[in-house]
Chain A
Amino acid sequence: MLEIKKLHVEVDGKEILRGLDLSVEPGEVHAIMGPNASGKSTLANVLAGRDGYQVTEGEVLYDGRNLLEMSPEKRACEGIFMAFQYPVEIPGVGGMNFLKSAVNAMRKHRGEPELDAMDFLKFVRHKVDLLGMDEKLLQRPVNVGFSGGEKKRHEIIQMAVLEPRLAILDETDSGLDIDALRIVANGINKMRGPERAMILITHYQRLLEYVVPDRVHVLSDGRIVKSGSKELAHELEEHGYAGFGVTEPCPGATEADAAVSERPAP
């Protein structure tokens, strides 16, 4: 489904990803772990199509097609979803209206008739119920004044409603207390299925206590330095990244990756 081959990516002239390889098949859940500034968020953003990331080498194939040529909206319509690390606040845009526009843009792309307000509401309620969440978040302007936990929950609701084939969750666990983490993890588990692949990008092992991955990869200095089964996450927990020969990232990578991944909402 997703083939990443020898991917090199620069941000502001600094190389962040340095030959990353990854292969993901339908039904699989992959965890990508790594210390700060190892390139985790850069990977997520490149896959989602954010501006400012220059691919200098390598390729990304999605269903055999060149993903990097597609606009962000094309990727979304083709079934790729990124849960943002820092979801942006959009004052004045109601959550329901936003999500309905998104659903209908994708339906239009697939040649399906658009949902009217009533059908859409029914559909959303069904999805929200499945997650064990409530729809109150959708009645507010998109992310405006949301707590950290609410923002992450909102991302999960969007994922459930948009039914992606490949979901990339960029540090969805960061900044959550244990209750919020459980709710979010439960939502992710509900979304697992034989047709759907997921990439969980995380710094900590604790999310993986709730969402058990099929594969775990350690990302360091722009490359995957070790891959293994779910036990790899436990080893990381015990020995830390240093136990895997993961060295301090080069200063250039630290700065640039931090600059793009820690960008606050404007």
Chain B
Amino acid sequence: MTVAAANPKTAGPYVGQFAEVKAALPGHDVAWLRELREEAIGRFSALGFATPRVEEWKFTNLAPLTGTVFTPPSDAAATEAVTRESLVPFLLEGEACHRLVFVNGRFRPDLSDPGSLPAGVELTSLAVALAEEPELVKPHLGRLAKLDGQALVSLNAAFMADGAVLRLPRGAALTRPLHLLFVATPAPAPAVMHLRNLIVAEAGSSATIIESYAGPENGTYWTNAVTEISAAADASIRHFKLQNESREAFHLAVNQVHLAERSGYDSFVLSVGGRLSRNEIHAALDGTGVECRLNGAILARGRQHMDNSTWIEHRKPGSLSHEVYKNVLDDNAHGVFQGKIIVRPDAQKTDAHQLNKNILLAETARADTKPELEIHADDVRCSHGAAVGELDREAMFYLRSRGLDEPRAEQLLIEAFVGELLDEISVSAVRSHLKKTVSSWLAGGESWEGA
């Protein structure tokens, strides 16, 4: 990223904010962390937010975000208003989970159910970890999400206040899923939550993680989340994410994933909420025999803008990456997919496949797709494909000729389009939760009219 293409001026309000709040941030008395934060705000100050002149941000313009100054959440009363009962709609039905709940970016032990964990597994919040055992997270914090990367990661590093920390020791298997639930409440002023999650899976360990974001129907706030995931040899991580933020919210997430030999990472991201959202996954396949599967779906209408951007780097021979992203775009919605696959010279016998499919339900909807292969090895199998189209007219006629009216036929075809991907989700409670989300999205069109 070049400094010239970004806009340092937009950094100003946050640099000022940092000076005000830094003494109150978690771990403010820890020297190495203070230095990290100072370096981070310095870098952010120099960069500012990316503009569309930055190649990676060509299709996603942050102007609507930078036009508003977001401040750390302050409304304690709204935070207190969340009860266990109010969380029920966001929970997975029929699945007992280890659960951490965050309200407006802060861990809420009173709403959480970490449950009993296998021996040696550590599960806590970042704020608690920084206050009680900062040395525990020191080797991992910022190891994957480096400051030389993006402005948003630097901003996150300067302000990161909370998030989930999970460490799986060698061979540990988390049999129940871990549900990380992030809830935003209506606030008088636009708030920003800089969340940082750390997942460290040692050799041979495994876990299923569900990350869900929910907010009020309306309300402007910004979730700026960075998640660092490292899977050591033979470890296996399944990571499901549901982004169902408020219609006026901003959601920007960067996932940095490091995969050692024979490890597996399986991700699914369903995005239905927010005014502007982007989910980045940067996966480094740093060993042989790695299997990395990235899937996702976007359902957008009104003026929603949603972006899935992925970078997959094959560093070593004999690994597999497979990604399928599907977008359903109605009204004036804008969907973006960027997928870069890099195959390093050493990564012979790489198997890399990528596919992005878009269905436009309205002439005014828009899809941008940018697949990119950068291959430096000669004995590889790589493919990519992208398609933008409307619902299959022949299929529509077939369904209508059997008595289904247009809305029902459309609904069935969209459910099928997304459902094919959801069917690959191996955890049934997650699969049905996401299917329910898709169905309620399909049923919720009316309330968006005029949006």
Contact = CB atoms under 8 A, between A and B. Distances in A.
Interface of B: 392-395, 397-406, 408-409, 412-413, 415-417, 419-420
Contacts of B417: 92
B403 A73 contact: yes
Given A101-B408, A266-B394, A91 B401 contact: no
Given A72-B397, A90-B416, A92-B417, A109 B403 contact: yes
Contact of A49 (B401, B409, B416): B401
Contacts of A87: 398
18 contacts: A49-B401, A51-B393, A72-B401, A73-B401, A73-B403, A73-B409, A88-B392, A90-B398, A92-B417, A93-B412, A93-B416, A99-B402, A101-B402, A101-B412, A102-B399, A105-B405, A142-B398, A162-B402
Contact of A92 (B394, B400, B406, B419): B419
Given A73-B405, A88-B394, A266-B392, A93 B400 contact: no
A84 interface: yes
Q: Is the interface on chain A under 10, 10 to 19, 20 to 34, or 35 or more residues?
A: 20 to 34
A76 interface: yes
A91 B403 contact: no
B354 to A, nearest CB: 19
B403 A88 contact: no
**Which of A90, A91, A265 has the most chain B CB within a 10 Å cutoff?**
A90
B404 A102 contact: yes
Given A73-B400, A73-B403, A105 B408 contact: yes
B323 to A, nearest CB: 18
B401 A265 contact: no
Interface string A87-123: 1101111000111011001100100000000000000
Interface in A66-80: 71-73, 75-77
Given A90-B416, A92-B420, A71 B400 contact: yes
Q: Which 7 A-B pairs have the closest CB atoms?
A: A92-B416, A76-B403, A102-B402, A105-B403, A72-B400, A92-B420, A93-B416
A91 B420 contact: yes
A265 B403 CA distance: 20
Contact of B401 (A76, A92, A142): A76
Majority DSSP secondary structure for residues of B touching A: helix
Given A90-B398, A91-B420, A92-B419, A73 B404 contact: yes
Interface string A14-28: 000000000000000
B48 to A, nearest CB: 44
A48 to B, nearest CB: 5
Contact of A98 (B392, B394, B402, B405): B402
A126 interface: no
Given A73-B404, A98-B402, A105-B402, 8 more contacts: A76-B400, A77-B403, A101-B402, A102-B403, A142-B398, A162-B403, A265-B394, A266-B392
Interface in A162-207: 162
A84 B398 contact: yes
Contacts of B399: 90, 98, 102
A263 interface: yes
Nearest to A90: B395
A76 B399 CA distance: 10
Contact of B403 (A50, A97, A106, A142): A106
* Best-buried of A48, A99, A263 by chain B (most CB within 10 Å): A48
Contacts of B404: 73, 101-102, 105
Contacts of A72: 397, 400-401
B31 to A, nearest CB: 55
A82 B409 CA distance: 17
Contacts of A49: 400-401
B394 A91 contact: no
Contact of A82 (B393, B401, B408): B401
Given A76-B403, A98-B402, A50 B397 contact: yes
B403 to A, nearest CB: 4
Nearest to A49: B401
A77 to B, nearest CB: 5
Contacts of B413: 90, 93
Contacts of B415: 92-93
Interface in A237-266: 263, 265-266
A87 B399 CA distance: 11
A73 B398 CA distance: 10
Contact of B402 (A97, A109, A158): A158
Interface string A46-70: 0011110000000000000000000
Contacts of A48: 401
A69 to B, nearest CB: 15
Contact of B397 (A51, A77, A162): A51
Nearest to A106: B403
A76 B404 CA distance: 9
A155 to B, nearest CB: 10
Contacts of A50: 397, 401
Contacts of B405: 71, 73, 105
A92 B405 CA distance: 19
Contacts of A99: 402
Contacts of B402: 76, 98-99, 101-102, 105, 158, 162
Nearest to A45: B397
